[in-house]
Amino acid sequence: MAHKTLTISEEAYNSLKRLKRKGESFSDVILRITRSADLLEYVESTDFSEELADKIEEVYRARELVKGRRVEF
C-alpha cells in the first residue's frame, strides 16, 4: 500500500485525534468519516454545541419527511 505524507494544522490533528477510536489508525478515521459523510454523526462526535446538533437533527427530520421516509434518531 502506498503512503503519502500530509501536512495539517494542529487544530485539524486534534480534531482527528478526538474522532479516533481505540485500535484505529488516522487513515481509518479519515476513511470512516469521509465514507459515511453523515453530518449528524460527525457533529455528535465533536465539541459542537447541543443546540447546533439539535438544529441539524431537525433539518434531517424535515428532509426525510419531504422524501416520505421515516428516520429514527
9-46 residue pLDDT tens: 999 999 999 999 999 999 999 888 777 666 666 666 77
Q: Quick one: which of 7, 20, 10 has its CA closest to 46?
A: 20
pLDDT at 10: 93
pLDDT value at 73 more than 60: no
The answer to whether residues 30 and 52 belong to one domain is no
pTM of the model as a whole: 0.47
Instruction: Examine the domain organization and report whether 3 and 22 are in the same domain.
Output: yes
Same domain? 2 vs 20: yes
Cell of 63: 428532509
User: Can you give the residue range of the structural domain that contains 62?
Assistant: 46-73
Confidence grade of residue 55 (pLDDT, cut at 50, 70, 90): confident
3-state class (DSSP) for residue 4: coil
Place of cell 455528535: 44
